[in-house]
Amino acid sequence: MIAAPGVEDLLRELAPQVLAALVRRYGQFDIAEDAVQEALIAAATRWPADGVPDNPRGWLVTVAARRLMDELRSEHARRRREDAALAATPQSGLLGRPADAEPVADRDDSLALLFMCCHPALSAPSQIALTLRAVGGLTTGQIAAAFLVPEATMAQRISRAKQSIKASGVPLAMPDAKDRAARLRAVLHVLYLIFNEGYTASTGPDLTAPHLSDEAIRLTRWLRRLLPEDPEVAGLLALMLLTDARRPARARPDGSLVPLEEQDRSLWNADQIAEGIALVTEALPRGPVGPYQLQAAIAAVHAEAADVDSTDWPQILALYELLEQVAPSPAVTLNRAVAVAMVHGPAAGLELLAELAADHRMADHHRLLATRAHLLAQAGDRAAAAASYRAAARRTASLPERRHLSRRAAELSRD
């Protein structure tokens, strides 16, 4: 046995490998996932006291396989499926062998597992929940706490996701060349959504949920190790690092939000910024430029500026114009409006926002209202800005954002 520091990190690294091994062997994703969770819990309980086995992955595979076989045997209605699984799997002494006797296989299907969890048959919330549990190794309780929902609600979501995979008959395999690019985009989008929810929590009393953004960065680092030549994977990791670098400056000691223009940039994480800039610098020349590379480039321009006034806003505007061609969306247009205002004045930015207000996806969104308020204040229309800040505050479910927007409205309403 070896010493047992960092058991939690080790388990989270091994979780997708173990689950992929069981799914490949038994073809029972739903039961295999439950069995792996039980094995992880057993390891988390025993390893800190007993020490980490010499073959931790083999220990987990063996224990999870025993749990899976017990489950198959426990339900008479599944007898036929049990017989098929037993017939297809060499069983010479499996249940009687030492837990860490499972050989370490060279084959690692964990990337295929990530593609399975992000299958288009699943809704985005289901993809996120299943990715965090099956690939991230988080418990249902941890995921529920991160999203501020009851554990029973999250358990139902994960259960429905597993049933959807079962019903779809999705195999544990890498997508073919024709589908791989689209499926990778789905994977990156799921990781991006997880990061965003951690960086700015959409609901609840806290501005951030660092556990989620940290997990998104960890998973994206892992994905980059698996796909080191993909520029969009590098771009997404760069974007996360450059954005997360601002976290120490985003909130005051009382938890209130500090907007970008007021942040103390000396608090930004210099190591994350350096790594992010290096990643995006490496990724951009490789080939077709994707949306994550462009967003990372924009974040890098912000990171390189000493303050808002010294920011290269014309470069940021040019990058947003290119991003709108590559991946148009209301959110991109909203951010471009801010850059337009910084380069051409608030009236030009407000004109673009007026066009965006016709989009039903953004018409009543609190970010559109808050941006309009900000530009109205810059243009000198304090009353209209205050009204727009109040409207934005009513529409956000984040308490720190609501307090910040309400405070802005109150400041503008003073004589």
Q: For position 296, what pLDDT does the model report?
A: 97
Q: d(Cα 152, Cα 155) in Å, to the nearest integer?
A: 5
Q: Are 126 and 161 in contact (CB under 8 A)?
A: yes
The kind and range of the H/E element at 183 are helix 177-199
Question: ∠91-96-98 over CA atoms, to 5°?
Answer: 110
Confidence check: pLDDT of 92 > 60: no
Q: For position 245, what pLDDT does the model report?
A: 97
Distances in Å between the Cα of 403 and the Cα atoms of 147, 395, 408 are 20, 12, 9
Confidence check: pLDDT of 352 > 70: yes
If pLDDT is split at 50, 70 and 90, which confidence band does 97 have? Answer: very low
Distances in Å between the Cα of 134 and the Cα atoms of 19, 69, 118, 143, 337 are 7, 19, 11, 11, 39
If pLDDT is split at 50, 70 and 90, which confidence band does 315 have? Answer: very high
* Per-residue DSSP letter, 122: S
Confidence check: pLDDT of 15 > 50: yes
> What does pTM read for this prediction?
0.82
Chain length of the chain = 415
Could you read off the pLDDT of 34-62 as tens digits, one per residue?
899 899 989 989 998 888 998 999 999 99
Confidence check: pLDDT of 106 > 80: no
